[in-house]
Chains A and B, each alone.
Chain A
Amino acid sequence: MSTTPPAPEPQAVIDAEMAEIRAEAEKARADGGPEELQPRRDYPPYRSSLLRHPKRPLVAAPEAFTELRGPVFGVTDVTDLDGDLTRQHHGEPLGERIVVTGRVLDREGRPVRGQLVEIWQANAAGRYAHKRDQHPAPLDPNFTGTGRCLTDDEGRYTFTSIKPGAYPWRNHLNAWRPAHIHFSLFGTAFTQRLVTQMYFPNDPLFPYDPIFNSITDERARQRLIATYDHDLSSPEWSLGYRWDIVLDGPSATWMEEGR
Chain B
Amino acid sequence: MREPTPSQTVGPFFGYALPFADGGDLVPPGHPGAITMHGVVHDGAGRPIPDALLEFWQADPAGGLDGAPDSMRRDPVTGTFAGRSGVGFTGFGRVATDADGHWTLRTLPPGPAAPGALPYISVCVFARGLLHHLYTRVYLEDGPGDPLLDSLDADRRATLIARPEPHATYRFDVHLQGSEETVFLEFG
Chain A residues at the B interface, C-beta cutoff of 8 Å:
35, 37-41, 43, 46, 48-56, 58-79, 81-82, 88, 105-109, 116, 118-120, 128-130, 132-133, 144-146, 148, 180, 182, 184, 190-191, 193-197, 211-212, 214-215, 219-221, 223-224, 245-250
- Asked whether A223 and B5 contact (CB < 8 A) given A41-B132, A67-B122, A81-B79, the answer is yes
Q: Is B34 among interface residues, defined by CB-CB distance under 8 A?
A: no
- B16 adjacent to A130 (CB under 8 Å): yes
Does B92 make an interface contact (CB < 8 A)? yes
Shortest Cβ distance from residue A209 to the other chain B in the assembled complex, whole angstroms? 10
Q: Which of chain B's residues 33-58 have a Cβ closer than 8 Å to chain A?
A: 43-45, 47, 49, 55, 57-58
Q: B23 to chain A: closest CB distance in Å?
A: 12
- Cα distance, A39 to B6, chains bound together (Å): 7
Binary CB contact string for chain B from 65 to 92 against chain A (1 if under 8 A, 0 otherwise):
1111111111010010000010000111
B65's nearest neighbour on chain A, judged by CB, is A69
Bound-complex Cα distance A164 to B152 (A): 46
Chain A residues, CB < 8 A from B152: 59
Q: Give the interface size class of chain B.
A: 35 or more
Known: A52-B44, A59-B186. A245 touches B90 (CB 8 A): no
A248 contact set on B, CB distance < 8 A: 4-5, 7
Quote the shortest CB–CB distance from A12 to chain B (angstroms): 23
Distance A46 CA – B117 CA, assembled complex (angstroms): 40
Asked if A107 contacts B1 (CB within 8 A), the reply is yes
What is the minimal beta-carbon distance from B43 to any residue of chain A, in angstroms?
4
Whether B10 pairs with A66 at a CB distance below 8 angstroms is: no
Query: A39-B131, A223-B4 given. 15 additional CB < 8 A pairs?
Result: A37-B3, A38-B6, A38-B7, A48-B128, A54-B181, A77-B74, A120-B14, A128-B13, A133-B13, A148-B72, A184-B18, A195-B9, A220-B3, A223-B6, A224-B6
Q: CB of B171 within 8 A of chain A?
A: no
Q: A223 near B3 (CB under 8 angstroms)?
A: yes
Query: A212 CA to B10 CA in the complex, in Å?
Result: 13
In the bound complex, how far is the Cα of B110 from the Cα of A215, in angstroms? 36
* Sample (16) of A-B pairs whose CB atoms are under 8 Å apart: A37-B3, A38-B132, A41-B132, A48-B9, A52-B130, A61-B148, A65-B65, A67-B122, A77-B73, A108-B1, A120-B14, A130-B13, A195-B133, A211-B8, A246-B3, A249-B187
Known A223-B3, A224-B6; contact A52-B127, beta-carbon cutoff 8 A: yes
Interface 0/1 of B88-120, CB less than 8 Å to A: 001110000000000000000010011001001
CA distance A180 to B45 in the complex (A): 30
Taking CB atoms, residues of chain B closer than 8 Å to A38 are: 4, 6-7, 132
Chain A, Cβ-Cβ closest to B90: A71
CA distance A37 to B2 in the complex (A): 11
Residue among A51, A180, A249 having the largest count of chain B Cβ atoms under 10 Å: A51
Query: What is the bound-complex CA distance between A106 and B4, given in angstroms?
Result: 8
In the bound complex, do residue A52 and residue B57 qualify as a contact, i.e. CB atoms below 8 Å apart?
A: no
Q: Report chain B residues within 8 Å CB of A71.
A: 57, 67, 71, 90-92
> For the complex, is B59 an interface residue (Cβ under 8 Å from A)?
yes
Q: Which residues of chain B have C-beta atoms less than 8 A from A62's C-beta?
A: 147-148, 151
Residues of A within 8 A of B2 (CB): 105-109, 246
Report the minimal beta-carbon distance from A216 to chain B, rounded to whole angstroms: 10
Residue of B nearest to A180 (CB): B8
Contacts of A59 in B (CB 8 A): 148, 151-152, 183-186
Question: In this assembly, does B134 line the interface, its C-beta being within 8 Å of a C-beta of chain A?
Answer: yes
